[in-house]
A and B are shown apart, each in its own frame.
Chain A
Amino acid sequence: MKVTQTGIQKSLRKARRNRNAEIFRRFRKNKLAVIGLVVFLAFAVVAICADFIADYETEAISMNPGNRLQKPSREHLFGTDGAGRDQLARIVHGARVSLSIGFFTTLISMVLGGLLGAMSGYYGGVFDEVLMRLMDILLSIPVILMSIAIVSALGPSMMNLLIAITISQVPAFTRIVRSSVLTVVSEDYIEAARVCGARDFRIIVREVLPNAIGPIIVQATMSVASMILLAAGLSFIGLGIQPPQPEWGNMLSESREFMRDYPYLVVIPGIVIAISVFSINLIGDGLRDALDPKLRN
């Protein structure tokens, strides 16, 4: 008995590995997606190593009136802003803020929404009904309004921005996880696991979620991109990251007044946002095609 079971497990593991390799192979064949991944990884490395590239206190925060509004030069590749700070240093440190907002809000809302959605789809019944009506209500409030409401109530700060964005993302994840759980929950292997006497939690985590993960990963990737845009937008209207802390959105709003004579101050941060979001969208598209080749047209 023991022997056969490990045998089954071994072949199961092998099958899973084959499937992942197949997905990876399909992803690799998509040139745009690979380019997106490379660009995104470059951004991530810059964000992680920000402190080695430029000193936070002296170069990205402290004002230097004698050095203000310098055009891009060898010394200041992206020029300096209205307070005499090196724009490259601020963009590099801003990358840390923007990318971590995109990443962490997505991660937390994916876990929260994932659990709620999985429970809702798995148990069904009254719990499902009540939760889904609540999500209907939350989904009918546009994401930006929802986060503006939360930030305006709690006051603008990094933590509150994170809370606001995370909460506004949870309903979408709940919906997606629920619907993908519903597609697998009636499969025979779920019934088999139940017959074997596995507990509900184990079935959800070990059987249901891994088989429903495709759409969730795609949604998560796209969510990172839209959260970066949302955070930049909220910071731009003064409800997100507060100056002097650098963030791509608030850099744009701070430099706006100098736009006429120093266009590079608004052009460069915007390009940086666009490239990072673009690369993430490319990855998302690539993942979608790799996970489900049927969807491709």
Chain B
Amino acid sequence: MFRYILKRILLLIPIILGVLLVILFIMELTPGDPATIMLGTQANPAAVQALNEELGYYDPFPVKYFNYVKNALQGDFGHSWQTGKPVFDAILRRFPVTLKLAFYSVLLCAAVGIPLGVISAKKQYSVLDMACTSFAMVFTSMPRFWLGLLLVLLFSVHLGWVPPHGIGTWKHYVLPVVTLAAPTTARIMRLTRSTMLETIRQDYVRTACAKGASERRITVIHELKNALLPVITYLGIEFGMLLSGAILIETVFSMQGISTMMINAIRMKDTPQVTASILFFAVLVCITNLLVDVMYAVIDPRIRAKYAKAK
């Protein structure tokens, strides 16, 4: 088990280096040089050239990549061209907002999506099942940011229950979390439904029935435990997706998270800030996926047994 986890962590390193390579390569395509952006177009050409040289603008790409990795390992992701402050400080300062948004959303997805999926499967083709399925289709088809706008219109503008934007209190998080969670909840519900439908027809469920186990015991111990494995993996993957999905939601609700900072940095052509923000998100998603894989191995006895034997 330990060896499996170690192997997965080691495999993460080349992936992160690769992600960094791809992102740096893309950002390398940005037209314009840093000094002109920092000093303005009227600046002294000699000063521009000197600053560009100092920032390593004229270095070939492999050298830039190597330097970036070297500095990043020492915790230095460059300085913002706009403010001159280390980019990572700004990211860490704003990270809690984005993390809270994604985390609460994932909780909401699980709390609503899984029970609805189970009930839909147990009462297949009932009115509730049909209703859930239709709602799921609708929620996955509408743009998230538009759902956000509609919720603001209804609950902030007309009813005045919650504030439309900002991050001050828990009330500020209600609408963004619901908006972000809605399409994912729909997908979780659909997935739970189909895995439940599969397990309901398994032989061991029939055996349990024949042995006279109570309906409730069968549902919880025999069906749910097996049906939830893929759902949990999916929830983990979705957590990564929710982190990046927060980009649009933060814009809709003017929340001061990483995404709004990143979009602002893109407008200001602040390349180090943009690179570091995108990299931060991407690495976070990679780590989440790793945790999901490891967790999957830990909770599924079948996979655990496979690795125990291999040793």
Contacts and interface: CB of A to CB of B under 8 A. Distances in A.
B302 to A, nearest CB: 22
B71 to A, nearest CB: 20
A118 to B, nearest CB: 23
A282 B141 CA distance: 10
Given A140-B15, A232-B143, A252-B146, A297 B198 contact: yes
A40 to B, nearest CB: 12
Interface residues of B, number: 49
Contacts of A134: 18
Contacts of A259: 149, 152-153, 157
Given A142-B241, A270-B146, A149 B247 contact: no
A149 to B, nearest CB: 5
A182 to B, nearest CB: 22
B153 to A, nearest CB: 6
A216 to B, nearest CB: 21
Nearest to B121: A297
B90 interface: no
B194 A297 contact: yes
Given A145-B278, A274-B138, A233 B145 contact: yes
Contacts of B18: 133-134, 136-137
A225 B26 CA distance: 26
B30 A144 contact: no
Interface in B115-163: 137-138, 140-146, 149-150, 152-153, 157
Nearest to A137: B18
B245 interface: yes
B281 interface: yes
B145 A145 contact: no
The binding surface of chain B is classed by DSSP as: helix
A205 B156 CA distance: 56
Given A137-B22, A148-B278, A239-B266, A142 B138 contact: no
Interface stretch (A2-10, A102-110, A151-159, A194-202): A151-159
Contacts, number: 126
Nearest to B285: A142
B44 to A, nearest CB: 26
Given A137-B22, A278-B141, A281-B140, A142 B282 contact: yes
B182 interface: no
Contacts of A229: 143
B244 interface: yes
Contacts of A238: 263, 267
Contact of B143 (A150, A155, A273, A282): A273
Interface residues of A, number: 43
Contacts of B267: 238
Given A142-B241, A142-B281, A274-B141, A266 B153 contact: yes
B37 to A, nearest CB: 13
A45 interface: no
A173 to B, nearest CB: 18
Nearest to B154: A263
Interface in B251-300: 251, 262-263, 266-267, 274, 278, 281-282, 285-286, 289
With most chain B CB atoms within 10 A of its CB, the pick from A136, A142, A229, A267 is: A142
A111 interface: no
Contacts of B152: 259
Please provide the 4 A-B residue pairs with the shortest distance between their CB atoms, ordered closest to farther.
A137-B18, A270-B146, A278-B141, A142-B244
Given A133-B18, A274-B138, 14 more contacts: A137-B18, A141-B282, A142-B285, A145-B247, A145-B278, A149-B278, A153-B26, A225-B141, A259-B149, A266-B146, A266-B150, A273-B142, A274-B143, A278-B137
Interface of B: 14-15, 18-19, 21-23, 26-31, 137-138, 140-146, 149-150, 152-153, 157, 194, 197-198, 240-241, 243-245, 247-248, 251, 262-263, 266-267, 274, 278, 281-282, 285-286, 289
7 contacts: A141-B23, A148-B262, A148-B266, A153-B29, A256-B149, A266-B146, A281-B137
